[in-house]
Amino acid sequence: YYQLARPEALDPELRMLWSYLQEQLSTLNDPYSDRVRLAEVLRQRKVGGSGLNERLLEPGQSWQAWSRLLAMLLSQIPNADPALRISESGLDVVDLGCGDGTLTVEMARFARRVVGVDFNPDTLAVARQRIDRLGLQNVTLLAENVNELPLDSGSVDVAFFSQSLHHLDDPKSGFREAFRILRPGGCVFVMELAAHREQWVLEKLNHKWLGFERDNLLSIMQKTGLTELQSKLLPLHREELFQVMLASGMKA
């Protein structure tokens, strides 16, 4: 471990440099965002292990949130034993804003086909490495905008938005596209940040939205044509800085 040396223990030249750095750091306009980001990285290291790519950090990601999202999916697929619902149904799934493919590969383990869509080539490269490492043959990655999908109408059973809506200029358009490509009876599942005040994510993480109010998100989904709406706010623990919201809706 490292610890900060006392100023009086430094050589005169280093002491002068340290004083200068302290003066410069004290004038930063946004030191808070760096502290928040550091805390989020440390939290994700704790829950995510060595696989965390901190350069592609998305606040609020956790295995707890993903597992609850998958549980919500299982609960809405009827006519099968809970342990077999996905595998027996042979679902076609699209992961809209798939990022580094963490959720994509989990769905690929028991879905018939998974399409991961993301416009960021860096995250898609990480997703491709993950897929190749696992030897998955049922995953296709597309470098596309989720608002203009090159997928046929009525071609998928499940559409996921996992921490991707806050990157869209127009989330309503994203939901319209998801609705278009769903088959009747298909579902949209959302894992997203609840509304927050962390302005720094707009610049440093290229977020377009500071999360979403639950009622506003459900209203957008309803106006798109989705029914059977459900939502849930996950508990906000002490070490977590962003609250996660889950939501789902069905195409009648």
127 part of a folded domain: yes
| For the ranges 70-79, 96-105, 222-231, the one whose mean pLDDT is highest | 222-231
Q: What is the pLDDT of residue 205?
A: 83
Lowest-pLDDT range, 93-97, 102-106, 140-144, 171-175?
Answer: 102-106
Closest CA to 126 of 58, 65, 43: 58
Which neighbouring-strand residues pair with 78? none
Select the more confidently predicted residue: 68 or 141.
Answer: 141
Residue 105's domain comprises 35-250
What CATH number is given to the structural domain containing 176? 3.40.50.150
185 part of a folded domain: yes
What average pLDDT does this structure show over 5-18?
Answer: 71
Q: What is the pLDDT of residue 50?
A: 42
Number of domains in the chain: 1
Query: What pLDDT, in 10s, does the model give residues 211-240?
Result: 999 999 999 999 999 999 999 898 776 666
Mean residue pLDDT of the chain comes to 79
Cα of 209 vs its chain's centroid, Å: 13
10 part of a folded domain: no
Residue 34: both structure tokens together: 């760096």
CA distances from 99 to 69, 107, 120 (A): 16, 14, 8
Say what the pTM is.
0.73
Query: What share of the chain in percent tops pLDDT 70?
Result: 67
Q: What is the pLDDT of residue 40?
A: 55
Q: What is the pLDDT of residue 39?
A: 60
CA–CA distance, 214 with 194 (Å, rounded to integer): 7
Q: Are 174 and 181 in contact (CB under 8 A)?
A: no
Half-sphere exposure of 204 (CA within 13 A, CB side): 18
Residue 193, phi then psi, degrees to nearest 5? -75, 135
Beta strands 113-117 and 92-96 are: parallel
Q: What is the pLDDT of residue 219?
A: 97
25 part of a folded domain: no
Query: What pLDDT, in 10s, does the model give residues 23-63?
Result: 665 665 555 555 655 565 565 555 444 444 444 456 666 65
What average pLDDT does this structure show over 147-157?
Answer: 95
Lowest-pLDDT range, 81-85, 172-176, 232-236, 244-248?
Answer: 81-85
What average pLDDT does this structure show over 152-161?
Answer: 94
What average pLDDT does this structure show over 75-100?
Answer: 65
For the cut 70, the answer to whether the pLDDT of residue 120 exceeds it is yes
Buried-state track 121-141, b at ≥16 Cβ within 10 A, e below 16: eebbebbeebbeeeeeebbeb
7 part of a folded domain: no
13 part of a folded domain: no
| For the ranges 51-55, 87-91, 108-112, the one whose mean pLDDT is highest | 108-112
27 part of a folded domain: no
SS (H, E, C) the chain: CCCCCCHHHCCHHHHHHHHHHHHHHCCCCCHHHHHHHHHHHHHHHHHHHHHCCHHHCCCCCCHHHHHHHHHHHHHCCCCCCCCCHHHHHCCEEEEECCCCCHHHHHHHCCCCEEEEECCCHHHHHHHHHHHHHHCCCCEEEECCCCCCCCCCCCCEEEEEEECCHHHCCCHHHHHHHHHHHEEEEEEEEEEEEECCCCCHHHHHCCCCCCCECHHHHHHHHHHHCCEEEEEEECCCCCCCCCCEEEEEEECC
237 part of a folded domain: yes
Q: What is the pLDDT of residue 111?
A: 85
Q: What is the pLDDT of residue 70?
A: 66
